[in-house]
Structure 1
Amino acid sequence: MDATLEQIGPRLRAARRDRGWTLEELATRAGMSSSTLSRLESGKRQASLPLLLPLTRQLGIRLDDLVPAGSGDPRVRRAIERRDGMVIAPLTLENSPVQAFKVTFPPRDHAPAPRVHDGYEWLFVLSGRLRLSLDDHEHIIERGEAAEFDTRMPHSLSATADGSAEVVSIFSASGERMHTHGAP
Protein backbone atom coordinates (compact mmCIF):
# COMPACT_ATOMS: atom_id res chain seq x y z
CA MET A 1 0.00 0.00 0.00
CA ASP A 2 1.13 3.55 -0.74
CA ALA A 3 2.78 5.21 2.29
CA THR A 4 0.39 8.17 1.94
CA LEU A 5 -2.65 5.90 2.18
CA GLU A 6 -1.16 4.15 5.21
CA GLN A 7 -1.42 7.48 7.07
CA ILE A 8 -5.22 7.70 6.75
CA GLY A 9 -6.05 5.16 9.49
CA PRO A 10 -3.73 6.60 12.16
CA ARG A 11 -4.84 10.14 11.36
CA LEU A 12 -8.48 9.11 11.57
CA ARG A 13 -7.84 7.44 14.95
CA ALA A 14 -6.00 10.54 16.22
CA ALA A 15 -8.87 12.84 15.18
CA ARG A 16 -11.38 10.56 16.95
CA ARG A 17 -9.28 10.40 20.12
CA ASP A 18 -8.73 14.18 20.08
CA ARG A 19 -12.49 14.51 20.49
CA GLY A 20 -12.55 11.91 23.26
CA TRP A 21 -14.84 9.60 21.28
CA THR A 22 -14.84 5.82 21.37
CA LEU A 23 -14.97 3.71 18.23
CA GLU A 24 -18.61 3.00 18.91
CA GLU A 25 -19.51 6.68 19.33
CA LEU A 26 -17.95 7.77 16.04
CA ALA A 27 -19.21 4.72 14.15
CA THR A 28 -22.78 5.38 15.33
CA ARG A 29 -22.57 9.08 14.42
CA ALA A 30 -21.21 8.19 10.95
CA GLY A 31 -23.75 5.41 10.34
CA MET A 32 -21.36 2.48 10.14
CA SER A 33 -20.36 -0.50 12.24
CA SER A 34 -17.63 -0.29 14.87
CA SER A 35 -15.78 -3.14 13.18
CA THR A 36 -15.67 -1.23 9.87
CA LEU A 37 -14.25 1.83 11.63
CA SER A 38 -11.76 -0.30 13.53
CA ARG A 39 -10.53 -1.90 10.31
CA LEU A 40 -10.20 1.53 8.66
CA GLU A 41 -8.17 2.88 11.57
CA SER A 42 -5.89 -0.17 11.64
CA GLY A 43 -5.37 -0.19 7.86
CA LYS A 44 -7.07 -3.56 7.41
CA ARG A 45 -9.78 -2.00 5.24
CA GLN A 46 -9.08 0.23 2.28
CA ALA A 47 -10.37 3.76 2.68
CA SER A 48 -12.99 4.95 0.20
CA LEU A 49 -14.95 8.18 -0.20
CA PRO A 50 -18.27 6.61 0.85
CA LEU A 51 -16.62 5.54 4.13
CA LEU A 52 -14.50 8.64 4.75
CA LEU A 53 -17.02 11.38 3.98
CA PRO A 54 -19.40 10.67 6.88
CA LEU A 55 -16.42 10.26 9.23
CA THR A 56 -14.78 13.54 8.26
CA ARG A 57 -18.11 15.36 8.53
CA GLN A 58 -18.69 14.02 12.03
CA LEU A 59 -15.11 14.83 13.07
CA GLY A 60 -15.25 18.30 11.54
CA ILE A 61 -12.14 17.74 9.45
CA ARG A 62 -11.34 17.79 5.73
CA LEU A 63 -10.31 14.79 3.65
CA ASP A 64 -6.98 16.59 3.16
CA ASP A 65 -6.42 16.39 6.92
CA LEU A 66 -6.20 12.60 6.60
CA VAL A 67 -3.52 12.67 3.91
CA PRO A 68 -0.06 14.02 4.70
CA ALA A 69 1.23 16.81 2.51
CA GLY A 70 3.90 15.89 0.02
CA SER A 71 7.42 16.57 1.15
CA GLY A 72 8.64 18.09 -2.11
CA ASP A 73 11.51 20.49 -2.37
CA PRO A 74 11.15 22.98 0.51
CA ARG A 75 13.41 25.58 -1.11
CA VAL A 76 11.78 28.75 -2.35
CA ARG A 77 12.71 29.28 -5.99
CA ARG A 78 10.41 32.06 -7.05
CA ALA A 79 11.55 34.91 -9.26
CA ILE A 80 12.53 38.24 -7.75
CA GLU A 81 10.32 41.09 -8.98
CA ARG A 82 11.29 44.69 -9.58
CA ARG A 83 8.57 47.32 -9.56
CA ASP A 84 8.52 51.08 -8.95
CA GLY A 85 12.16 50.92 -7.81
CA MET A 86 11.42 48.20 -5.25
CA VAL A 87 13.04 44.77 -5.26
CA ILE A 88 10.61 42.10 -4.02
CA ALA A 89 12.14 38.71 -3.14
CA PRO A 90 9.68 35.93 -2.19
CA LEU A 91 10.59 34.05 1.01
CA THR A 92 7.75 31.50 1.00
CA LEU A 93 6.41 28.94 -1.43
CA GLU A 94 3.65 30.17 -3.70
CA ASN A 95 0.99 27.98 -2.05
CA SER A 96 1.88 28.88 1.56
CA PRO A 97 -1.05 30.03 3.74
CA VAL A 98 0.74 33.32 4.41
CA GLN A 99 3.28 35.04 2.22
CA ALA A 100 6.60 36.54 3.27
CA PHE A 101 8.85 38.78 1.18
CA LYS A 102 12.10 40.66 1.59
CA VAL A 103 11.41 44.06 0.08
CA THR A 104 14.05 46.66 -0.66
CA PHE A 105 12.53 50.14 -0.85
CA PRO A 106 14.48 52.87 -2.69
CA PRO A 107 15.04 56.22 -0.96
CA ARG A 108 12.15 58.68 -1.38
CA ASP A 109 11.71 62.29 -0.37
CA HIS A 110 7.98 61.87 0.24
CA ALA A 111 5.60 59.07 1.12
CA PRO A 112 3.54 57.67 -1.74
CA ALA A 113 -0.22 58.15 -1.70
CA PRO A 114 -1.88 55.90 0.89
CA ARG A 115 -3.97 52.92 -0.19
CA VAL A 116 -6.65 50.83 1.46
CA HIS A 117 -7.33 47.15 0.77
CA ASP A 118 -8.29 43.95 2.54
CA GLY A 119 -5.55 42.22 4.46
CA TYR A 120 -3.13 42.39 7.32
CA GLU A 121 0.62 43.03 7.30
CA TRP A 122 3.51 42.37 9.66
CA LEU A 123 6.96 43.77 8.93
CA PHE A 124 10.51 43.85 10.31
CA VAL A 125 13.15 46.35 9.22
CA LEU A 126 16.47 44.65 8.43
CA SER A 127 18.34 47.81 7.42
CA GLY A 128 17.67 51.47 6.78
CA ARG A 129 14.64 53.42 7.93
CA LEU A 130 11.10 52.71 6.77
CA ARG A 131 8.43 55.40 6.58
CA LEU A 132 5.04 53.93 7.45
CA SER A 133 2.21 56.36 6.80
CA LEU A 134 -0.75 54.89 8.61
CA ASP A 135 -4.15 56.54 8.98
CA ASP A 136 -2.74 60.09 8.57
CA HIS A 137 0.20 59.48 10.96
CA GLU A 138 3.80 59.02 9.87
CA HIS A 139 5.94 56.50 11.75
CA ILE A 140 9.65 55.93 11.17
CA ILE A 141 10.45 52.27 11.76
CA GLU A 142 14.17 51.80 12.46
CA ARG A 143 16.46 48.81 11.84
CA GLY A 144 15.51 46.02 14.27
CA GLU A 145 11.98 47.30 14.83
CA ALA A 146 8.74 45.62 13.79
CA ALA A 147 5.23 46.83 13.04
CA GLU A 148 1.86 45.28 12.27
CA PHE A 149 -1.31 46.83 10.95
CA ASP A 150 -4.68 46.25 9.35
CA THR A 151 -4.36 47.19 5.67
CA ARG A 152 -7.95 48.43 5.60
CA MET A 153 -6.51 51.58 7.21
CA PRO A 154 -5.05 54.11 4.73
CA HIS A 155 -1.33 53.31 4.54
CA SER A 156 1.84 53.55 2.48
CA LEU A 157 5.38 52.26 2.90
CA SER A 158 8.61 53.83 1.68
CA ALA A 159 12.23 54.30 2.64
CA THR A 160 13.22 57.72 3.91
CA ALA A 161 15.28 60.12 1.78
CA ASP A 162 18.52 59.15 3.56
CA GLY A 163 18.81 55.67 1.98
CA SER A 164 17.13 52.45 0.99
CA ALA A 165 15.40 50.18 3.50
CA GLU A 166 15.32 46.37 3.56
CA VAL A 167 12.21 44.91 5.14
CA VAL A 168 10.78 41.45 5.73
CA SER A 169 7.01 41.67 5.22
CA ILE A 170 4.47 38.98 6.02
CA PHE A 171 1.03 39.34 4.48
CA SER A 172 -2.32 37.69 4.73
CA ALA A 173 -3.33 36.32 1.32
CA SER A 174 -5.36 39.39 0.30
CA GLY A 175 -2.63 41.77 1.47
CA GLU A 176 -0.02 39.85 -0.53
CA ARG A 177 -1.97 40.17 -3.77
CA MET A 178 -2.22 43.94 -3.40
CA HIS A 179 1.38 44.61 -2.40
CA THR A 180 3.16 42.28 -4.80
CA HIS A 181 0.87 42.48 -7.83
CA GLY A 182 -0.20 46.12 -7.57
CA ALA A 183 -3.58 47.76 -7.49
CA PRO A 184 -6.36 46.16 -9.56
Structure 2
Amino acid sequence: MDHELAALLDGIGPHLRRIRQDRGLTLADLATATGLSVSTLSRLESGHRRPTLDLLLPLARTHRMALDHLIGAPPTGDPRAHLTPHRTDPRTGNPSVVVPLTTYPGRLQVFKQILGPTATPPELVTHPGHAWFHVLSGTVRLLLGPRTLLLHPGDTADFNTEEPHWFGPADTHPAEILHLYGPHGDRPTPPQNQS
Protein backbone atom coordinates (compact mmCIF):
# COMPACT_ATOMS: atom_id res chain seq x y z
CA MET A 1 0.00 0.00 0.00
CA ASP A 2 1.45 3.39 -0.97
CA HIS A 3 2.01 6.17 1.55
CA GLU A 4 -0.80 8.39 0.18
CA LEU A 5 -3.42 5.63 0.41
CA ALA A 6 -2.26 4.66 3.90
CA ALA A 7 -2.54 8.29 5.04
CA LEU A 8 -6.06 8.52 3.59
CA LEU A 9 -7.18 5.36 5.38
CA ASP A 10 -5.61 6.51 8.67
CA GLY A 11 -7.45 9.82 8.39
CA ILE A 12 -10.95 8.36 7.89
CA GLY A 13 -11.62 7.68 11.59
CA PRO A 14 -10.70 11.19 12.81
CA HIS A 15 -12.62 12.66 9.85
CA LEU A 16 -15.75 10.69 10.84
CA ARG A 17 -15.36 11.86 14.45
CA ARG A 18 -15.16 15.52 13.32
CA ILE A 19 -18.30 15.16 11.20
CA ARG A 20 -20.20 13.63 14.13
CA GLN A 21 -19.00 16.27 16.59
CA ASP A 22 -19.69 19.14 14.15
CA ARG A 23 -23.28 17.95 14.03
CA GLY A 24 -23.54 17.75 17.81
CA LEU A 25 -24.14 13.99 17.86
CA THR A 26 -22.99 11.54 20.50
CA LEU A 27 -21.89 8.03 19.60
CA ALA A 28 -25.20 6.81 21.05
CA ASP A 29 -27.16 9.23 18.82
CA LEU A 30 -25.29 8.03 15.76
CA ALA A 31 -25.71 4.38 16.74
CA THR A 32 -29.48 4.85 16.97
CA ALA A 33 -29.62 6.61 13.59
CA THR A 34 -27.39 4.13 11.70
CA GLY A 35 -28.15 0.82 13.40
CA LEU A 36 -24.43 0.34 14.09
CA SER A 37 -23.28 -0.34 17.64
CA VAL A 38 -21.61 2.32 19.78
CA SER A 39 -18.51 0.13 20.11
CA THR A 40 -18.26 -0.33 16.32
CA LEU A 41 -18.54 3.43 15.78
CA SER A 42 -15.99 4.12 18.51
CA ARG A 43 -13.49 1.63 17.02
CA LEU A 44 -14.08 3.06 13.54
CA GLU A 45 -13.43 6.64 14.72
CA SER A 46 -10.32 5.64 16.69
CA GLY A 47 -8.87 3.70 13.74
CA HIS A 48 -9.16 0.31 15.44
CA ARG A 49 -11.79 -0.86 12.92
CA ARG A 50 -11.18 -0.83 9.18
CA PRO A 51 -13.76 1.27 7.27
CA THR A 52 -15.82 -0.95 4.98
CA LEU A 53 -18.80 -0.18 2.78
CA ASP A 54 -21.23 -1.90 5.15
CA LEU A 55 -20.12 0.59 7.85
CA LEU A 56 -19.70 3.68 5.67
CA LEU A 57 -22.99 3.48 3.74
CA PRO A 58 -25.24 3.85 6.84
CA LEU A 59 -23.06 6.77 7.98
CA ALA A 60 -23.27 8.45 4.56
CA ARG A 61 -27.05 8.00 4.53
CA THR A 62 -27.45 9.35 8.07
CA HIS A 63 -25.18 12.36 7.44
CA ARG A 64 -26.65 12.84 3.96
CA MET A 65 -23.18 12.98 2.44
CA ALA A 66 -21.54 11.45 -0.59
CA LEU A 67 -19.03 8.73 0.33
CA ASP A 68 -16.03 10.70 -0.96
CA HIS A 69 -16.96 13.65 1.27
CA LEU A 70 -17.67 11.35 4.21
CA ILE A 71 -14.18 9.84 4.14
CA GLY A 72 -12.37 13.03 3.13
CA ALA A 73 -11.13 11.58 -0.17
CA PRO A 74 -9.11 13.85 -2.43
CA PRO A 75 -10.96 15.13 -5.50
CA THR A 76 -10.69 12.93 -8.58
CA GLY A 77 -12.03 13.10 -12.10
CA ASP A 78 -14.15 15.94 -13.45
CA PRO A 79 -14.46 18.77 -10.89
CA ARG A 80 -17.52 20.26 -12.58
CA ALA A 81 -20.79 19.92 -10.69
CA HIS A 82 -23.58 18.35 -12.71
CA LEU A 83 -26.54 20.58 -11.98
CA THR A 84 -30.00 19.06 -11.68
CA PRO A 85 -32.89 21.55 -11.52
CA HIS A 86 -35.84 20.81 -9.24
CA ARG A 87 -39.22 22.16 -10.37
CA THR A 88 -42.28 22.81 -8.25
CA ASP A 89 -45.68 21.53 -9.22
CA PRO A 90 -47.32 24.45 -11.09
CA ARG A 91 -50.61 23.59 -9.34
CA THR A 92 -49.12 24.87 -6.06
CA GLY A 93 -49.48 28.44 -7.35
CA ASN A 94 -45.80 29.12 -6.62
CA PRO A 95 -43.90 28.05 -9.75
CA SER A 96 -40.20 27.88 -9.08
CA VAL A 97 -37.04 26.16 -10.30
CA VAL A 98 -34.20 25.47 -7.87
CA VAL A 99 -30.74 24.59 -9.17
CA PRO A 100 -28.22 23.31 -6.57
CA LEU A 101 -24.84 24.93 -7.22
CA THR A 102 -22.94 22.96 -4.58
CA THR A 103 -22.72 19.21 -4.06
CA TYR A 104 -21.57 18.89 -0.47
CA PRO A 105 -24.61 17.95 1.64
CA GLY A 106 -24.53 18.66 5.34
CA ARG A 107 -22.72 21.98 5.03
CA LEU A 108 -23.67 25.39 3.70
CA GLN A 109 -25.39 24.96 0.33
CA VAL A 110 -25.87 27.46 -2.49
CA PHE A 111 -28.83 27.36 -4.87
CA LYS A 112 -29.89 29.43 -7.82
CA GLN A 113 -33.65 29.84 -7.57
CA ILE A 114 -35.86 31.10 -10.39
CA LEU A 115 -39.05 32.48 -8.88
CA GLY A 116 -42.04 32.37 -11.23
CA PRO A 117 -44.98 34.75 -11.05
CA THR A 118 -47.89 33.53 -8.96
CA ALA A 119 -51.61 34.17 -9.18
CA THR A 120 -52.29 33.14 -5.58
CA PRO A 121 -52.03 35.54 -2.65
CA PRO A 122 -48.79 35.26 -0.65
CA GLU A 123 -48.93 33.14 2.49
CA LEU A 124 -46.45 34.17 5.17
CA VAL A 125 -44.60 31.33 6.91
CA THR A 126 -42.29 30.96 9.89
CA HIS A 127 -39.71 28.32 10.75
CA PRO A 128 -36.49 28.09 12.77
CA GLY A 129 -33.40 29.34 11.00
CA HIS A 130 -32.00 32.19 9.01
CA ALA A 131 -32.47 33.16 5.35
CA TRP A 132 -30.05 34.82 2.99
CA PHE A 133 -30.61 35.49 -0.70
CA HIS A 134 -29.08 37.75 -3.33
CA VAL A 135 -31.11 39.03 -6.30
CA LEU A 136 -29.52 38.29 -9.68
CA SER A 137 -32.30 39.52 -12.00
CA GLY A 138 -35.85 40.78 -11.86
CA THR A 139 -37.48 42.36 -8.84
CA VAL A 140 -38.28 40.34 -5.71
CA ARG A 141 -41.05 41.31 -3.31
CA LEU A 142 -40.20 40.33 0.27
CA LEU A 143 -42.94 40.36 2.85
CA LEU A 144 -41.33 40.40 6.28
CA GLY A 145 -43.77 40.80 9.14
CA PRO A 146 -45.72 44.01 8.44
CA ARG A 147 -43.11 45.31 5.96
CA THR A 148 -43.06 45.00 2.17
CA LEU A 149 -39.67 45.40 0.54
CA LEU A 150 -38.72 45.45 -3.15
CA LEU A 151 -35.29 44.04 -3.94
CA HIS A 152 -33.55 44.66 -7.26
CA PRO A 153 -30.50 43.03 -8.89
CA GLY A 154 -27.55 43.39 -6.51
CA ASP A 155 -29.75 43.65 -3.40
CA THR A 156 -29.42 41.07 -0.62
CA ALA A 157 -31.92 39.96 2.02
CA ASP A 158 -30.74 38.57 5.36
CA PHE A 159 -33.36 37.81 8.01
CA ASN A 160 -34.50 35.55 10.83
CA THR A 161 -37.05 33.05 9.46
CA GLU A 162 -38.93 32.98 12.76
CA GLU A 163 -40.42 36.30 11.60
CA PRO A 164 -43.41 35.73 9.24
CA HIS A 165 -42.12 36.02 5.68
CA TRP A 166 -42.73 35.32 2.00
CA PHE A 167 -40.86 36.24 -1.16
CA GLY A 168 -41.55 36.00 -4.86
CA PRO A 169 -41.49 38.06 -8.05
CA ALA A 170 -42.78 41.61 -7.64
CA ASP A 171 -44.52 41.55 -11.04
CA THR A 172 -45.38 39.21 -13.91
CA HIS A 173 -41.72 38.54 -14.76
CA PRO A 174 -39.60 35.80 -13.15
CA ALA A 175 -36.85 36.79 -10.73
CA GLU A 176 -33.59 34.94 -10.12
CA ILE A 177 -31.84 34.73 -6.76
CA LEU A 178 -28.88 33.01 -5.15
CA HIS A 179 -30.11 31.35 -1.97
CA LEU A 180 -28.04 29.92 0.90
CA TYR A 181 -29.14 27.07 3.14
CA GLY A 182 -27.35 25.83 6.25
CA PRO A 183 -26.94 22.29 7.57
CA HIS A 184 -30.59 22.16 8.68
CA GLY A 185 -31.91 22.39 5.12
CA ASP A 186 -29.60 21.46 2.32
CA ARG A 187 -32.33 21.93 -0.22
CA PRO A 188 -35.76 23.48 -0.03
CA THR A 189 -38.41 20.81 0.46
CA PRO A 190 -40.41 21.28 -1.64
CA PRO A 191 -38.67 24.05 -3.59
CA GLN A 192 -41.05 27.01 -3.75
CA ASN A 193 -41.18 30.79 -3.57
CA GLN A 194 -41.02 30.83 0.19
CA SER A 195 -38.03 29.84 2.29
Residue in structure 1 matched with residue 128 of structure 2 by the alignment: 118
Any unmatched runs of 5+ in structure 1?
11-48, 55-66
- 1:101 is paired with a residue whose SS is strand
TM-score (normalised: structure 2) = 0.56
Does 1:154 pair with 2:164? Answer: yes
- Separation in structure 1 between the aligned mates of residue 109 and residue 74 of structure 2, nearest angstrom: 19
- Separation in structure 1 between the aligned mates of residue 46 and residue 155 of structure 2, nearest angstrom: 48
State the structure with more CA Rg. Answer: 1
Q: Residues 115 and 156 of structure 1 are in contact (CA less than 8 Å); yes or no, is this contact kept in structure 2?
A: yes
- Separation in structure 1 between the aligned mates of residue 109 and residue 145 of structure 2, nearest angstrom: 24
CA 1:9–1:77: 2 relative to 1, 3 Å: closer
TM-score (normalised: structure 1) = 0.59
Q: Residues 118 and 175 of structure 1 are in contact (CA less than 8 Å); yes or no, is this contact kept in structure 2?
A: no
Does 1:128 pair with 2:132? Answer: no
CA 1:86–1:77: 2 relative to 1, 3 Å: same
Quote the RMSD (CA, aligned, Å): 3.6
CA 1:78–1:50: 2 relative to 1, 3 Å: closer
Any unmatched runs of 5+ in structure 2?
12-42, 49-70, 89-93
Residue in structure 1 matched with residue 74 of structure 2 by the alignment: 70
CA 1:50–1:131: 2 relative to 1, 3 Å: closer
CA 1:145–1:132: 2 relative to 1, 3 Å: same
Does 1:5 pair with 2:6? Answer: yes
Instruction: Give runs of aligned pairs for residues 3-82 of structure 1, distance below 5 A.
Output: 3-6=4-7, 49=43, 52=46, 68-72=72-76, 73-82=78-87
Count of aligned pairs: 137
CA 1:143–1:110: 2 relative to 1, 3 Å: farther
